Amino acid sequence: MRAHRLTITLATLGAVAVATTVGIAAYGYGHRGSPTCVSSVPFRAGEDGYDTFRIPSAVLTRDGTLIAFAEGRVGGAGDSGHIDVVRKRSADGGCTWGPLGLVAAGDGHTRGNPAPVVDPRTGRIVLLSSYNSGEVTEARIMTGEATAGQSRRVFVQTSEDDGRTFSAPREITAEVKRPDWRWYATGPGHAVALTTGPHKGRLVVPANHSAAPPAGSSDTGQEAKYYGAHAIYSDDGGLHWNIGYVDGGYDGLTNSNESSAAQLPDGRLYFSARDQKGSVPGRRLGAYSADGGRTLDAPYRAESTLLDVPMVQGSLLQTTGREGAPLLFAGPSVPTVRRAMAIWRSTDGGSRFTKVTTVSELPAAYSDLVQPDSGTVGLFYETGAAGPYERIEYRRIPLGDFTANGG
């Protein structure tokens, strides 16, 4: 039976497709019609009926449309309560944006952590997201106080019309969440479709969880050591899902949390995770998988060349389009505070990173990287003058700025 489709144009927000151009630093069209804008603001706190927008993610569709997803938080900036998954579409590489659309309605509950990916076989957009009851917080979920229905659950949606509409959320919790896991989050940030190797076409979603303390322990489950990163994957375009690697040491040394992924030119996957109060230096961890995310080649290790990054989510992008195209990492660049969004480059598959540019000195937090065309890198990031959650900005940067020879 064909899934019920949920329209994502909010009538209450007005159906007039007025493009959002607020925040554009420069705008025009260059050679052969390529957009030359520098920045735009698809989501701003207090607009479109939402108090705050957080947790950006983005994909470029087969038709060349850039789709930006976010959490639309109704009652405030906090992580709990009524939260929707929303989206905006851009047909000009992120210079202007159409009206906001509702993808998954919280209806008083929490839906978020959108992790989109485009299925290379069909062009269908596959979107993973997480859910919990609006009556519980992350703390109550981690301590095991929430019921199964209230706790974190996982859903998938698809779009076959270039992101205009999405199917109703379909639950896949039983396929991707172990019984002893409490907290669960997809992403944050985009997922990955493998383009080379024996698992070509596989959809890989970086995710994270928390585990219950062992029997007899006096721990509550809120301790940072119970966080762990993992991956889930689908080999049939998002119909069925499997749990891939699980970082489940829970030893307090490296506490992998929110994770992102990129497929390297040699076919391996590189994962980057937030270290949640681990005892190793820095706040970033890295790992590799040679089997499409099913297992890790070795446990997560501390990233010694990303020591400027505070404890926060970070985003990855393996760029394409030219020889030696680098792997990029984006995140704030002040170790003690969420501020100064920057982008680092790696030319050796993530072994070492070098900071290339500081996008802004303002407060900044979560981000997602995308490549809207062969010559441009796009960065969605949370930022603001007084704090990092005033808006989600989109910044376009020439890919040549990140190549070793600048060309």
Question: DSSP secondary-structure letter at 259?
Answer: E
Assign domain 5-322 to its CATH architecture: 6 Propeller (2.120)
- What average pLDDT does range 387-394 have in this prediction? 98
Phi first, then psi: give them for residue 69, nearest 5 degrees. Answer: -110, 155
Which tokens belong to 371? 């490549």
The Cα–Cα gap between 86 and 99 comes to: 10
Collapse the DSSP code of 110 into the 3-class scheme (helix H, G, I; strand E, B; otherwise coil) and give the result.
strand
Phi first, then psi: give them for residue 192, nearest 5 degrees. Answer: -130, 135
The Cα–Cα gap between 381 and 384 comes to: 10
Question: 15 pLDDT band (50/70/90 cuts)?
Answer: very low
The Cα–Cα gap between 283 and 308 comes to: 8
Question: 249 pLDDT band (50/70/90 cuts)?
Answer: confident
Phi first, then psi: give them for residue 49, nearest 5 degrees. Answer: 85, 10
Question: pLDDT tens digits, residue range 138-179?
Answer: 999 999 999 999 999 999 999 999 999 999 999 999 999 999
Whether the predicted pLDDT of 19 surpasses 50? no
Whether the predicted pLDDT of 24 surpasses 50? no
Question: DSSP secondary-structure letter at 88?
Answer: E
The Cα–Cα gap between 220 and 363 comes to: 33
Quick check: bond before 388 cis, omega within 30?
A: no
Question: DSSP secondary-structure letter at 108?
Answer: T
- DSSP letters spanning 313-350: --EEEE--SSTTPPEEEEEEEETTEEEEEEEEEESSTT
- What average pLDDT does range 83-108 have in this prediction? 98
Collapse the DSSP code of 198 into the 3-class scheme (helix H, G, I; strand E, B; otherwise coil) and give the result.
coil
- Sign for the pseudo-dihedral over CA of 110, 115, 120, 123: positive
In 10 A of CB 168, how many CB atoms?
A: 12
Question: 5 pLDDT band (50/70/90 cuts)?
Answer: very low
The Cα–Cα gap between 93 and 197 comes to: 29
What is the helix (H) or strand (E) element at residue 175, kind and residue range? helix 173-176
The Cα–Cα gap between 142 and 208 comes to: 13
Whether the predicted pLDDT of 301 surpasses 90? yes
The angle subtended at Cα 393 by Cα 168 and Cα 365, nearest 5°, is: 90
Non-local CB neighbours of 81 within 8 Å, separated by 6+ positions: 73, 74, 75, 108, 110, 134
Question: pLDDT tens digits, residue range 316-357?
Answer: 999 998 788 999 999 999 999 999 999 999 999 999 999 999
The Cα–Cα gap between 33 and 339 comes to: 35
**Cα Rg of the chain (Å, integer):** 20
pLDDT, greater one: 31 or 103? 103
Which tokens belong to 333? 């660049």
Question: 217 pLDDT band (50/70/90 cuts)?
Answer: very high
CB-side neighbour CA atoms (13 Å) of 159 = 27
- What average pLDDT does range 221-242 have in this prediction? 98
Whether the predicted pLDDT of 18 surpasses 50? no
Q: Where are the domains of the chain?
A: 5-322
Predicted confidence at residue 34, as pLDDT, reads 52
